[in-house]
Structure 1
Amino acid sequence: MDELPIGRRVAYWRGRRKMSQQVFADRLGKSKSWVDKVERGVRRLDKFSVVYDIADVLQVDVQLLLGKEVERKPETQNCIDQVEVEEIRAALERYDQMSAFFQAVPHSPPIAEMRKAVSHAWLTYQHAKYGALARALPKLLRDAQAADSAHANSDEAPAAAHLLGQVYQIASSALRKVGEHELSWLAADRSIAVSQRAGDQLLAGLASYRVGSALLALGRVRPSLEVNVNIANRLAPGPERARGEQLSVYGMLLLNGAMSAARIGDSATVRDLLSGAEQASIELGGDFNHYWTSFGPTNVQLHRCATAVELGDGRLAVEAHERMNKEGFNAMLPERRAHHYLDIARGYTQIGDVERAGEMLLEGDRLAPSEIRCRPLAHEVLSDVLRRTRGTPPAPIAELAEQMGVGV
């Protein structure tokens, strides 16, 4: 995008922010005609003060509008910044599979090497190292796409497709964390098609889980509920003892469906889906990380809390949190635990206990800073805590707010 005129860049980012020309003009204090002329290149932007105003309204770094390399600030090193999002987008926009029909793929990493890289990316995500993951994802996407294309007609085709399906899912999950929901949906949707080529129903089921998560983040709640429940029904264990992997993917689809049902206030469906997931976790016999799901009894407990928060019942969420199996919780990976602390912080705000809400945010930040500092939802919760705190906020909360750039 560096070669585009500045007006085109303004139009691009305005579109990304889903602003009409009129809304954008109103926020700038300009006319719609002025905006239209700027975007078409008829009117020049020759005042830096105006460029800075535009960057502020669009919430982008001014260097992006000027077509220059953005200097990464120290505090963004552990998050996914705008430059990295655009690099991931560019990798998703590649269609190497089509090119492979016409000419040989020039380079493809060995499958064994790709397998190690994908496993490392999963662990990076589950330890909430989002900045490191974002810097690795563009190359990982390109390599996985190249491997998938290079092995399309070989015995390694299913393995290569499986790895690419996983990479799309990692990208989808990471992008959803930082609010890039449309891009998250695209990556998840890609994973469904690739997973089918891999011939793995469970990987396809987990791709459906990612689609459901992206749809929920986009506010498409009923489609999210439907895709989770429909695919869970297809993967439901039969009379014979199911594999641990099948129980894990099935259980996660039910838990995701419960979150969707909670969003629309359907408490009966929430109870049914949580009950089904709990039964699957009992049959599984413990907490496991099959297919990178972290599914088991503890994750079911976490979702009991999370669905209560979505239903607006903060007290029930807090009570469930206090009854939680601490040993199982402490054994979970950092992303899951920090995510839970964010959910419980929301629960405490619902019952008016902003002091405890702040403590939960601090716990999450100590455990996995990126899960708190990089997520728009955490910024909203912290802003709410600050606004409702009487007097001066505690020093640790004030320091966290300063580091996150959150004001009252």
Structure 2
Amino acid sequence: MKTTIKEAKNYLNQEVTIGGWLHNKRSSGKIAFLQLRDGTGFMQGVVVKAEVSEDTFQLAKNITQESSLFVTGVITEDTRSDLGYEMQVKSIEVIDEAHDYPITPKNHGTEFLMDHRHLWLRSKKQHAVMKIRNEIIRATYEFFNNNGFTKIDPPILTASAPEGTSELFHTKYFDEDAFLSQSGQLYMEAAAMAHGKVFSFGPTFRAEKSKTRRHLIEFWMIEPEMAFYNHDDSLEVQEQYVTHIVQSVLKNCTIELKTLERDTEKLAKVATPFPRISYDDAVTFLKEEGFDDIEWGEDFGAPHETAIANHYDLPVFITNYPTKIKPFYMQPNPENEDTVLCADLIAPEGYGEIIGGSERINDLALMEQRINEHELDAESYSYYLDLRKYGSVPHSGFGLGLERAVAWISGVEHVRETSPFPRLLNRLYP
């Protein structure tokens, strides 16, 4: 019977065959322990010299790291294992023998590991991060599908930019200028006028020359837009969504979280409603905390966001930023025209902003004014202005950066480990 490591629990005390790779091994004179992986998980195979042929035992002792195998044996209970079971190996068939595998069990430098990212993905911790990423994606579709959203796919090649052209990758679209999308938001607003509640999930690009642990050149965004939703309505959706993905990972990725040594008690605290602090109060708080460098009207940096998040020990919304430091499409705050109805959701433990969102301007004249003030090409945004001409309604939306969310939930330090093949300032390989 062929099965996988994940499904082997269904065959306790039965003989099965599993196709996989040798992750690691150790042996003594009479027993060999094989650490096997097959993509679904990691499992120990025990080879006892007295219970197998001499050829099989010698093969178990000599087989090399990352060789591919068919391993046959009986699945038995093992309470010391995270899985709760292991295999008593009876026979081994080598499919392909690997030689001089470059990533050995010793420590390697980050640049070396990034150069070998295609192989580093096989490691136990990197495997766990990708499993958590996958669970967040699965839970994302579950949340929005269960709450009446329609998935719409915006284009990746665009003629205009939602947040200005300074951080865009330029390309030629035959005889026209085009850009790689930095956000699908403007198109999702159009889709919301057709479907009410929509979301997109796809790659976005920022030509930002940043080397921080929070930044990637290419990353994935989840971007919902909701017709007839005001700013407060949107904040409720955001906290419900983030709570859902955190709880889903806690429920379905227990082994992976343990592999990463994640403090799950901190994740278990994540529940609605999230604390909120206005930009004005945040500036006051930061000054009281000794950040004398911050002045009203300036954007917050990583140390500022971390100080605010640490104060709450939960995801926290910072609301109503100054108009001049936010994109052109955000609805003015009726209580203070110098600010807009927006919020950034700051993750705890120093992971920074994971969501940016706002109520969108729905008045045609004001939108035209904003486009002019930001010196944008009105013709490129004519379709966007049409949304305010033909049945405009109050609407709101937000964008969650997948890799930052994965970094926070999995507890890894740098977002480069949360993307299968990260694109960084000086890295386009592999």
Q: TM-score range by the shorter chain?
A: under 0.3
Greater length-normalized contact order (CA 8 Å, ≥ 6 residues apart): 2
| Structure holding more helix per residue | 1
| Structure holding more strand per residue | 2
TM-score by length of 2: 0.26
Larger radius of gyration: 2
